[in-house]
Amino acid sequence: MLATEDAPKNYLDPRVLEHIKRLDLRARRVVEGFITGQHRSPYNGFAIEFAGHREYVPGDEIKHIDWKVWSKTDRLYIKEYETETNLKATLIVDCSKSMKYGREGWTKFDYASTAAASLAHLLQHQQDSIGLVTFDAKVKDVLPASSRMIQVKEIAHTLESTEPDSGTDVEKVFLELAAQVRQRGIVAIFSDLLAETNVIRNALERFRVRGHEVIVFHVLDDDEIDFPFDEHTRFVGLEGPDIVQTDPRALRNAYVEVVEEYLKEVRKAASSLGVDYTLARTSEPLDAVLSRYLAWRNIGRRRG
Amino acid sequence: MSSFFFHPGLFVAGLIAVAVPILIHLLNRRRFRRVDWAPMDFLLKAQQINRRRIKFEDFLLLLLRCLAVALIGMLVARPFLANDKSGALRQLARSERVIVIDDSASMNAQSGGVSSMVKAKDLLRSWIAQLSSEQPNDTVTIALTSAPDKLLANGVPLSENAAADLLEEVENLSTSDISQSMESALGKMERLFSGEGGSQANRVLYVLTDLRERDWPTSGGGTFDVLSRLASKAAGCYVVDVGSEETENLVIESIAPREKAFVSGAPAEFDVIVRNFGRRPATGVTVRLGTDEGLPVERTIDRIEPGQSGVAGFVYTFGAADGEGAVEPVALTAKLGGDSDDFADALPSDNERFFAANVSEGLRVLLVDGDITAKAENSESFFLRKALSPRGALKSGFVVTVIDEAALATEDLSAQDVVVLANVFRLDEERRSKIEAWTRDGGGLMVSLGDHVDDAVYNESLFAEGGVGGMKIVGVQGDPSEEEWLQPVITDEAHPAFRFFTGENRRWLERIKFFQWWKLEITEQGEEEGPVDRRVLARLGGSEGDPLLVDAPWGEGRVMTVASALDLDWNTWAQEGVPYVIAMQEICRYLARSNVLEGEVVAGDSLKVSFDIARYRMDAEVVMPGGQTETLRAAPSAEASRTSEWWLDFGRTNSRGHYRVELTPSGAGGAKEARLFSVNADESEGNLFREDVERMDALLETSGAKLVTAEEKVLSLGGMGAKVEFWRAVLYLLIAVLCVEMCFAWWIGKRR
């Protein structure tokens, strides 16, 4: 037992994961480690909700079309069985330039995509259908939700081939997304949320008003929170033209204050909107973040 | 700026160094890391909050660091303020008293029954007492002119104990016989003043002296120059006059023997020279000469004019050597004055003078015979040997050794006083250089030219340039059939070798017949280097004739050339008897190097004895005037690899008197051999003359020193414009600034 306790830890260390280049493999490792380390069954959570019929969208399997409804209404509806997928999850991953930050090659984007892929893997286990949206200043790639076995691989492939390369405009993008993701379900957002807090609040609100259940994985690097620099440094903005040259020691306290204020604001916004919010530091093992989130969610569910 | 700093240059350097922290700051700004940063907004916000405060704190830190550097510069530049400006800092003023005491023999001069030395000691005692009670923070440095390297006290703070110790030291002070000079003693002080060790701002120099002309030559230069240099470095400079106007003093200036060697059993003449350094003529001066045992011989000099010297002549006969063994040296002492002498002599210590007479068996003459034959009377040296050491009871004072040319190569010349080359065929290079080295070192050489002589070789070696020089053998003159002859004419009657052939006695020499001789041509080469001290004593046939006797210098020594033979082959000289004996003895005496003054040593100089380590043990004993003995170990000479000569060196000749160095022969049972030395004080100390006080005052004034009497108060520094250093305050300030800087930097670092 002792050995198995150790093994997953090794898998889940971000630095170890970094060496695994294929994202789907990486995600499986995370989930396997996560499941081995988890005492409670994760199946408790997602698949209990009822869906009923829903309109056909291209990509749905034809065999699920309810031909009876079609004969009455001349419309294509998908008949969703209780034993099959009853949850639709959309993973929204930020691939703006700011996600490129990270030391020793392990960027926030790497972390976010691994987390997204891991979550996808986990949901796949429950036969939920999963979709993926990546965005920077605009929506980049969209994978419609599907419960096919191949879906995880496709998600992983899409994320792997994405290079964070441009600025963010959270408000505009989220508006667009909220319109696109019409069916109620889970919306999991992986982003560093570097924007004005009221902008973030507005964006999240749009998902909530559409009845989505919103989960936010706020991915931040340790450096961005703790500001540990002590040499004279020139900071060059990743998304903007700003350059600050300073002695970081002189700024540390003020910076940490500003960040804390910001995080507090974000948390406040999230809780007031009923959004599940998890701060994910890139140095933290992924399974810990996932399990923390799930544990929190279970508590919330039992209470609900 | 030099009126505020001892080392203004260092202060300027410190100011320049202030730029260093600024430079470091600027350089730091140029060196940075680049980070691509995402949450730029937070950074900008944080910077907005902090900017002004950070700038202010950084500026303050930089200011503190610059201040610290400037203070370090100031500290090493040693700032001072003139006393009148310092006011509150006055308690920081500390001074060092440097006291130089003239302990030359003249300080013993008495006036009113009190000597200058006693006055100086009294003054010193009162100073120490006063300083230790009033200014115990002050330090005292005391030096004696006789031993300026060995300070009596070196920067001693005058606590109660230290003062007591110092008083005891002062009590034991006495004058020293060691030859000394005020100039060199003050020069040593100059080194102390410029040295880094005890540099103090308020250094005051006191010179306690009797201001004798000898130490303070008013002709300028020397002592006054050194003193003015010292005064410029000191806060004050006082010359304290503890002397008296008393100048009446008689001194035994020297004991001058007339002989070149003291021969055991033979009489020796001495001139005891007494100088009157006073201003009144001295009359009826009695002089006594004698050994410790036995009654001294007394002579009286009727009158000695002031500044002049009188001579008392003595004859002293040394005891004959008793059989074997070395001859005992004789310790002679000359003393001035009798009971009835009413001359007021200020300095009694120089009324006595010691003389060491190292008696030998006689002058050593080495005869190198170029014509040794089995029949003794046919040898070239036969007559000469007879003439120098005739048989009979009376000692001639010569020890003669006869060798042939071959033996010259191995003979040790160092023991010889005179070497005679009698009709030697030729000198090869080895022998010639040996003779040359010995003669140049002070030996006396007699060369007699007879029928064996190879003139070409002589001209190329002995008489060549670099040799005796200025002379050339041209050829044999005269009549081999002995039918014609020439008689000599004395051309240099004043020559010391001819002192008996003056007046009527000339004919003794001038009746000798010379049948043959070598014609000597005197060339005048080498004249450019100044006239050569060459004297032609006699010529043949007239005052323009061929030179017969030529006396020429060769290095330190002299060479007497006889142009004819010394036996009966070419002349009738040896046949004449008396003129031959007298001339030969006188010439040898004249040529011999004098060793009679070898035992004379001035106090403070070292006794040096060289000896052959093969003959004596390396440990010798020195018997000092008080009777104490000390064992001394010899050291090999610098050329020890080639000779067996070792040296004894005894430096502690601090008091006057006779010193006896006893060598122990290395063989068993040999009696000790003694060499005697007489140590006397420098006789010029007896000159008590001094310039009058007004003129001395003016002279010292120009040197920056002040002439004061022993009664004047010179210890207070009030009116002196002493310099008050405040480096201590600067140091405290620096430490405070550094502490504040560190705390501030730590605080800033912590708060950020």
DSSP string, B217-273: -TTSSHHHHHHHHHHHHSSEEEEEE---S----EEEEEEEESSSSEETTSEEEEEEE
Tell me the nearest-neighbour CA distance from A250 into chain B, angstroms. Answer: 5
pLDDT in tens, B57-68: 888 888 988 888
**Judging by DSSP bridges, how do beta strands B619-623 and B657-663 pair with one another?**
antiparallel
Q: Which of residues 176-205 of A touch B (CB under 8 A)?
A: 192, 194
Q: Between B668 and B703, whose confidence is greater?
A: B703
**What is the torsional sign of CA A288, A290, A296, A299?**
negative
Can you say how many angstroms the Cα of residue A193 is from the centroid of all Cα atoms in its chain? 12
**Residue B678, SS3 per DSSP:** strand
Chain B hits for A225, Cβ within 8 Å = none
Chain A hits for B750, Cβ within 8 Å = none
Contact yes or no for B42 and A250 at CB 8 A? no
Residue A181: predicted pLDDT: 73
**Residue A97, SS3 per DSSP:** helix
Q: Is A250's Cβ below 8 Å from some Cβ in B? A: yes
Tell me the nearest-neighbour CA distance from B58 into chain A, angstroms. Answer: 10
- A138 Cβ partners below 8 Å, 6+ apart? A169, A172, A173, A176
Contact yes or no for A231 and B33 at CB 8 A? yes
Q: Could you tell me if B230 and B205 are in contact, meaning their C-beta atoms sit under 8 angstroms apart?
A: yes
Q: Looking at the partner chain, which of A97, A234, A253 has a beta carbon nearest the beta carbon of B752?
A: A253
Q: Could you tell me if B433 and B399 are in contact, meaning their C-beta atoms sit under 8 angstroms apart?
A: no
Q: Can you give the length of chain A in residues?
A: 304
Residue A30: predicted pLDDT: 64
- B114 Cβ partners below 8 Å, 6+ apart? none
* Helix or strand run (H / E) with residue A265: helix A248-273
Rounded to a whole number, what is the distance in angstroms from the first to the last CA of chain B?
Answer: 43
Chain B hits for A242, Cβ within 8 Å = 40, 44
Contact yes or no for A234 and B33 at CB 8 A? yes
Residue A11: predicted pLDDT: 44
Q: Looking at the partner chain, which of A232, A239, A258 has a beta carbon nearest the beta carbon of B42?
A: A258
Q: Which of A215-229, B140-154, B366-380, B528-542 has the highest mean pLDDT?
A: A215-229
Residue A32: predicted pLDDT: 60
Q: Which of B610-619, B634-643, B657-666 has the highest mean pLDDT?
A: B657-666
- B234 Cβ partners below 8 Å, 6+ apart? B98, B193, B203, B204, B205
Q: DSSP label at A166? A: B
Residue B286 pLDDT > 70, yes or no? yes
- B232 Cβ partners below 8 Å, 6+ apart? B704
Residue B340: predicted pLDDT: 45
CA distance B237 to B240: 10
pLDDT in tens, A84-121: 445 678 889 988 888 888 877 788 888 888 888 888 88
Contact yes or no for B40 and A244 at CB 8 A? yes
State chain B's mean pLDDT as an integer.
Answer: 79
Residue B86: predicted pLDDT: 43
- B279 Cβ partners below 8 Å, 6+ apart? B247, B248, B306
A-B Cβ pairs (cutoff 8 Å, strict):
98
Q: Looking at the partner chain, which of B29, B47, B752 has a beta carbon nearest the beta carbon of A232?
A: B29
Of A71-85, B358-372, B382-396, B474-488, the least confident: A71-85
Residue A160, CA atoms < 13 Å, CB-side half-sphere: 15
Tell me the nearest-neighbour CA distance from B205 into chain A, angstroms. Answer: 59
Position A262 confidence tier, pLDDT thresholds 50, 70, 90: very high
> Nearest-CA neighbor of B448 among B347, B535, B380?
B380
Residues of B with CB under 8 A from a CB of A: 28-29, 31-47, 49-50, 54, 57-58, 748-749, 751-752
Residue B721 pLDDT > 60, yes or no? no
- CA distance to A93, B370, B548, per residue, from B551 (Å): 127, 21, 10
Partners of B724 in the β-ladder = B81
CA distance B161 to B58: 55
**Residue B360, SS3 per DSSP:** strand
Residue to mutate among B31, B32, B35, with most A CBs inside 10 A, is B35
Q: The tokens 């004859």 sit on which residue?
A: B315
Q: Could you tell me if A238 and B38 are in contact, meaning their C-beta atoms sit under 8 angstroms apart?
A: yes
CA distance A32 to A30: 6
Q: Is A233's Cβ below 8 Å from some Cβ in B? A: yes
Q: In chain A, what's the furthest Cα-to-Cα distance? A: 73
Chain B hits for A100, Cβ within 8 Å = 36, 38
Residue A273 pLDDT > 80, yes or no? yes
Q: Is A238's Cβ below 8 Å from some Cβ in B? A: yes
Q: Which residue of B has its CA nearest to A98?
A: B38
Rounded to a whole number, what is the distance in angstroms from the first to the last CA of chain A?
Answer: 35
Residue B751 pLDDT > 70, yes or no? no
> Nearest-CA neighbor of B625 among B354, B435, B240, B248?
B354
> Nearest-CA neighbor of B394 among B266, B269, B268?
B266
Q: Between B526 and B615, whose confidence is greater?
A: B615
Q: Could you tell me if B354 and B360 are in contact, meaning their C-beta atoms sit under 8 angstroms apart?
A: no
- B527 Cβ partners below 8 Å, 6+ apart? none
- A210 Cβ partners below 8 Å, 6+ apart? A178, A181, A182, A184
Position B531 confidence tier, pLDDT thresholds 50, 70, 90: low
**Residue A243, SS3 per DSSP:** strand
Contact yes or no for B37 and A238 at CB 8 A? yes
Quote the tokens at residue B464: 């060549």
Contact yes or no for A238 and B36 at CB 8 A? yes
Contact yes or no for B46 and A255 at CB 8 A? yes
Q: Which of residues 78-107 of A touch B (CB under 8 A)?
A: 97-101
Q: DSSP label at B325? A: S
Quote the tokens at residue A145: 């939700």
Residue A57 pLDDT > 60, yes or no? yes
**Residue A35, SS3 per DSSP:** helix
Q: What percent of chain B has pLDDT over 70?
A: 89
Average of pLDDT values for B443-450? 86
Of A272-281, B1-10, B674-683, the least confident: B1-10
Q: Looking at the partner chain, which of A238, A247, A257 has a beta carbon nearest the beta carbon of B38?
A: A238
Q: Which residue of B has its CA nearest to A236?
A: B36
Backbone angles phi, psi at B714, to 5 degrees: -125, 10
Residue B92: predicted pLDDT: 46
Contact yes or no for B47 and A242 at CB 8 A? no
- CA distance to B59, B60, B730, per residue, from B63 (Å): 6, 5, 17
Contact yes or no for A232 and B33 at CB 8 A? yes
Residue to mutate among A232, A251, A261, with most B CBs inside 10 A, is A251
If one counts every other C-beta atom within 10 angstroms of the C-beta of residue B334, the result is: 25
CA distance B124 to B142: 10
Q: Which residue of B has its CA nearest to A237?
A: B37
Q: Could you tell me if B405 and B368 are in contact, meaning their C-beta atoms sit under 8 angstroms apart?
A: yes
Contact yes or no for B33 and A194 at CB 8 A? no
Residue to mutate among A95, A224, A231, A235, with most B CBs inside 10 A, is A235
pLDDT in tens, A3-50: 333 333 444 556 556 655 566 666 666 666 555 444 343 333 334 344
**Residue B698, SS3 per DSSP:** helix
Q: The tokens 């903007």 sit on which residue?
A: A240
CA distance A11 to A30: 7
Contact yes or no for B34 and A98 at CB 8 A? no
Residue B325 pLDDT > 60, yes or no? no
> DSSP per residue over B444-500, as a string?
EEEEE--TT--HHHHHHTTSSTTSS-SEEEEEEEE-TTSS--B-EEES-TT-GGGTT
Contact yes or no for B33 and A251 at CB 8 A? no
Q: Looking at the partner chain, which of A192, A249, A252 has a beta carbon nearest the beta carbon of B38?
A: A192
**Residue B691, SS3 per DSSP:** coil
Residue A283: predicted pLDDT: 84
ipTM: 0.73
Q: To the nearest 5 percent, what fractions of chain A are helix, strand and coil?
A: 50, 20, 30
Partners of A154 in the β-ladder = none
Position B725 confidence tier, pLDDT thresholds 50, 70, 90: low
Residue A37: predicted pLDDT: 41
> Nearest-CA neighbor of B238 among B560, B737, B719, B627?
B719
Contact yes or no for A234 and B41 at CB 8 A? no
CA distance B684 to B678: 17
Tell me the nearest-neighbour CA distance from A176 into chain B, angstroms. Answer: 24
Q: Is A166's Cβ below 8 Å from some Cβ in B? A: no
> Nearest-CA neighbor of B599 among B498, B669, B674?
B674
Residue A3: predicted pLDDT: 35
Residue B580 pLDDT > 90, yes or no? no
CA distance B493 to B746: 103
Residue A264 pLDDT > 90, yes or no? yes
